[in-house]
Amino acid sequence: MVIKIARTLELPDPVRLARYERTPDLGPKILFFSGGSALRKVCYELIRYTHNSIHLITPFDSGGSSAKIRDAFKMLAIGDVRNRLLALADRSLLGNPEIFKLFAYRFPKDGDQEKMARELDRMIEGSHKLVASIPDPMRKIICHHTRLFKEHMPDDFDLCKASIGNLILAGGFLENRHHLDPVIFIFSKLVQVRGIVRPVVNQFLHLIAEMEDGEVVVGQHMITGKEVSPISSKIRRVYISRSRKHPKPANIPIRNKMGQLISEAELICYPIGSFYSSLIANLLPRGVGTAVSQNPCPKIFIPNSAEDPELYGHDLNDQVRLLIEYLKQDAPEGTLPSDFLNFIILDEKHKGYPGQLDEDEMRQMGIEIIRCPLISQETAPYIDEKRLVPVLLSLT
């Protein structure tokens, strides 16, 4: 039997928070659609209260170290997955600080290829100082995966600025017949990751943006405004494509296990971060919208409190409409906006949001606006994770 109940709660709810902090292994399953590093500090705070959060990560990054690995092996981007695994890991566990140092290490941007290859060999042998300090069995696994990467590495592979963590995960990916889940599982157990991290799809795909001025922008790193100049035209739509040279929308389904993770969530969060490349990109694969609409849990949108270059020409109302529009693309007919979104959480005093929400429109869609203190003096204009996390937990 299934029943639906309503309750009145305090934000934040001190009793609920105390219960979660006492037994985080029994904490709620909060699901985040995200990518990049915007939630790193949120994760540090979150694992105090729950070890069951779910993180579906965008695998389309086309810049930096991830791009070189993607192109060499025709695989998904793994840098954002690596970042989230480390953000959720138990930082007090023996050997973990050493693992964090190794996974964060990058070769110099203008290094000599032969010298870097020899340094990689020392890591494979276990004699490199960053590897030698890691206890077994993690050291042996790292050496093994690094060796596999080196064996498969193309002769012309550029090691400049390469992330060692990405190389290690790529080696595991190659060993497991181009499946990332087994690698994530092993590393999650060894470094005690306090949550579930998965790429939303496990394929070699590209994020494409069509602009209002007619330009077609190919690749996530060209959209974000971090590695190149920010976009100067409003984004008209984004989609995923199998081809970079001949971009066209691809109908890519999520795996059944992704739908299951979404259906098990006790709260779904569309969080801060790059709006198109981190949030909307996660909603593009077929099946995401349907799974979200069929889960009756609370669904929350947290708009960015600081400027997002991807949102050129967009205000808050545009963001809400777009969020629902992309989720509705594959959802059954008759679904309502409130099947995808119930609450928008804003800081109660912040004046830096792009425009004002149309409260009448939100009310007609069945969406409630929650205003509470999210930004502190120390973090302004950014949201303080110590204020945000208790609010999310209180809504579960």
Tens of pLDDT, residue by residue over 245-303, are: 999 999 999 999 999 999 999 999 999 999 999 999 999 999 999 999 999 999 999 99
DSSP H or E stretch at residue 55: strand 54-57
Q: Distance between CA atoms of 125 and 137, rounded to whole angstroms? A: 14
285 cis-preceded (ω within 30 degrees of 0):
no
What is the separation, in whole angstroms, between the first and last Cα of the chain? 21
Count of beta carbons in the 10 Å neighbourhood of residue 382? 16
CB 394, CB 13: distance < 8 Å: yes
Partner residues linked to 354 by β-bridges: none
Strands (E), 242-376: 267-270, 299-301, 343-347, 368-372
164-175 and 79-88 helices, crossing angle to 10°: 100
Say whether pLDDT at 94 is over 80.
Answer: no
Expressed in percent and rounded to 5, the helix, strand and coil fractions of the chain are 40, 15, 45
- Place 19 in a pLDDT band, splitting at 50, 70 and 90: very high
- Place 210 in a pLDDT band, splitting at 50, 70 and 90: very high
Partner residues linked to 380 by β-bridges: none
**Tokens describing residue 258:** 């992704």
Q: What is the dihedral of CA 59, 62, 66, 70, to 10 degrees?
A: 80
Least confident of 61-65, 129-133, 237-241: 61-65
390 cis-preceded (ω within 30 degrees of 0):
no
Q: How high is the pLDDT of residue 38?
A: 86
CATH for 14-58+202-394, options being 3.40.50.720, 3.40.50.300, 3.40.50.10680, 3.40.1190.10: 3.40.50.10680
Q: How high is the pLDDT of residue 179?
A: 93
- Average pLDDT of the segment spanning 103-125: 95
Question: How do the domains of the chain map onto residue ranges?
Answer: 14-58+202-394, 78-197
Tokens 């991290």 belong to residue: 197
Q: How high is the pLDDT of residue 1?
A: 63
Q: Which of 43, 39, 46 is nearest to 20 (CA)?
A: 46
CB 210, CB 236: distance < 8 Å: yes
Q: Distance between CA atoms of 233 and 253, rounded to whole angstroms? A: 30
CB 212, CB 233: distance < 8 Å: yes
* Cα radius of gyration (the chain): 21
- Place 168 in a pLDDT band, splitting at 50, 70 and 90: very high
pLDDT tens figures, 25-42:
999 999 999 987 889 999
Say whether pLDDT at 2 is over 70.
Answer: no
pLDDT tens figures, 186-201:
999 988 999 999 999 9
Give the CA angle between residues 43, 44, 45 to the nearest 5°: 90
Say whether pLDDT at 206 is over 70.
Answer: yes
Report the share of the chain in percent with pLDDT over 70: 99
Say whether pLDDT at 96 is over 90.
Answer: no
Partner residues linked to 334 by β-bridges: none
Backbone torsions φ then ψ of 211, nearest 5 degrees:
-95, 160
Say whether pLDDT at 91 is over 90.
Answer: no
Q: Can you spell out the DSSP letters for 162-231?
A: -BHHHHHHHHHHHHTTT-SHHHHHHHHHHTTBSSEEEES--S--EEEEEETTS-EEESHHHHHSSSSPPP
pLDDT tens figures, 341-381:
999 999 999 999 999 999 999 999 999 999 999 999 999 99
Q: Distance between CA atoms of 172 and 176, rounded to whole angstroms? A: 6
Least confident of 2-11, 91-100, 137-146, 354-363: 2-11
Say whether pLDDT at 311 is over 90.
Answer: yes
Q: How high is the pLDDT of residue 8?
A: 80
Instruction: Give per-residue burial for 79-108: e unless 16+ CB within 10 Å, then b.
Output: bbbbbbbbbbbeeeeeebebbeebbeebbe
Average pLDDT of the chain is 95
Q: Which of 136, 203, 197, 131 is nearest to 168 (CA)?
A: 131
Q: Distance between CA atoms of 331 and 329, rounded to whole angstroms? A: 6
Q: In a 10 Å sphere around its CB, with 0-12 CB exposed, 13-18 middle and 19+ buried, how is residue 72 labelled?
A: middle
